[in-house]
Structure 1
Amino acid sequence: MYYKCILMVFAATCVLYASGQSYEDKRCKCVCPSLAAILNNTNGSDRKLYIANVPPSKCDCDGVILPQVDAEIKSRGQEFCPRCECKYENRNTTIIKVVVIIVIWVIMLLVVYMGFLICLDPLINKRAKASYQEHTNEDDEGSVSGPSQQMGVRGNVLNRVTHQQDKWKRQVREQRRNIYDRHTMLN
């Protein structure tokens, strides 16, 4: 399991590194109508995205879109450009990568912790069943005697926790039986 976690982190890091190569921190992003809408003079709702790495002063239709389109669209630039919306974006992809890596690590730590608790639960239940002794009064926790006194404080706390857990499970079973079978509520 430990190797799978390391492999997952390595794969995520490789993906982040590869994806980081295709994006720039500073870019000009232009959203324009479809080229078919201009050529056919139809009002299509499809939009096209143009992204270029240009300085802020050239973040317009002439600097980003016209160098990427056909000559036919370039000749209709006066008709095409007013329909485009260009925005200059400045972002820090390093911070984005760090946040994603931290989130992945937190998720992995929680998965490892959950696995630890799943493995620990049978051990606690086995120890509790081995040292279980019948109590005459469930509310009296001070009258614990026998092998549980020899286990010391740690074993005593563990016995109390498992005793409370068993008591709660019995109460839940009793409530379910009363509600579903007898259709009554407990006090």
Structure 2
Amino acid sequence: MRNLLYFFLAIYIFQGAQAQFDDKRCKCICPSLSSVTNKTEKSHTSRLMHTTNDPPNKCNCEVVMLPRVADQLNITEMKEFCPRCECKYENRNTTIIQYVVIIVIWIISILVVYMLFLIILDPLLNKRVRGNYQEHTNEDEDSQAGPMSHNMTVRGNVLNRVSNQQDKWKRQVIEQRRNIYDRHTMLN
């Protein structure tokens, strides 16, 4: 229930932030004014970028950029300036982006909670395993003995089964390391 409340709270916050972004926009990126003029003033050396809410048919340099720089350029420089500009009309759906971000955050938070659960569970497993642990040197005997050879209390307890699998995996890793680094052979 608490998670559901957090979910709706996150959606409410993102919906409030929706007004800050435009789904449709015209974005023009132009070279510096010094590329078309002989002036090297500080205001002329940086690239120009401007974003507007103009419709797609008006997304061009003449409509978006020239009114902003018209007082700094003469007619011939304006003719050279616009072909160097790149104007793109962008259409995006910020609602979908918001929901994808929310889903990713939820997945990450679920994985973090699961990791914390395993970190808390690990000492409990190791404490119980140390009490019932006996060294097992031949894994072939396990496969020949069959499933009935295990103690019924161990089979019924999920924690013991998980710890047994974990111990078996650790023994396999140790054996693989021994074969690779000491004997220089690989397991099949």
The normalised TM-score by structure 1 is: 0.69
Alpha-carbon contact 1:66-1:77 (below 8 Å) kept: yes
1:33 aligns with 2:28: no
Return the letter of the residue paired with 1:106: I
For residues 80 and 184 of structure 2, the distance between their equivalents in structure 1, rounded to whole angstroms, comes to 77
Alpha-carbon contact 1:28-1:89 (below 8 Å) kept: yes
For residues 162 and 131 of structure 1, the distance between their equivalents in structure 2, rounded to whole angstroms, comes to 11
Return the letter of the residue paired with 1:95: I
Which segments of structure 1 move beyond 6 Å, counting only runs of 4 or more? Answer: 134-137
- Structure 1 unaligned spans of 5+: none
1:96 aligns with 2:89: no
Alpha-carbon contact 1:13-1:101 (below 8 Å) kept: no
Return the letter of the residue paired with 1:142: M
Alignment of 1:28-177 (within 5 A): 28-40=26-38, 47-69=47-69, 71-73=71-73, 75=75, 76-132=77-133, 138-139=141-142, 140=145, 142-144=148-150, 148-149=151-152, 151=153, 153-155=155-157, 158-177=159-178
> Displacement, 1:184?
5.2
CA offsets 1:124-176 (integer angstroms, 9 cap, x no match): 222222334567975135334xxx53x37422x54444334324433433443
- Over the residues paired in the alignment, what is the CA RMSD in angstroms? 3.7
Q: For the structure 1 residues 57 and 186, does the alpha-carbon distance in structure 2 shift closer, same or farther, using more than 3 Å as the test?
A: closer
The normalised TM-score by structure 2 is: 0.69
Return the letter of the residue paired with 2:56: P
Relative to structure 2, which stretch is displaced further, 54-63 or 133-142?
Answer: 133-142
Return the letter of the residue paired with 1:143: S
Return the letter of the residue paired with 1:104: I
Aligned residue-pair number: 172
For residues 92 and 61 of structure 1, the distance between their equivalents in structure 2, rounded to whole angstroms, comes to 25
Alpha-carbon contact 1:128-1:158 (below 8 Å) kept: no
CA offsets 1:97-145 (integer angstroms, 9 cap, x no match): 111111111111111111112211222222222334567975135334x
Alpha-carbon contact 2:154-2:161 (below 8 Å) kept: no
SS in 2 for 1:40: coil
- The residue aligned with 2:21 is 23
> Displacement, 1:72?
1.7
> Displacement, 1:186?
7.5
SS in 1 for 2:26: strand
Return the letter of the residue paired with 2:61: C
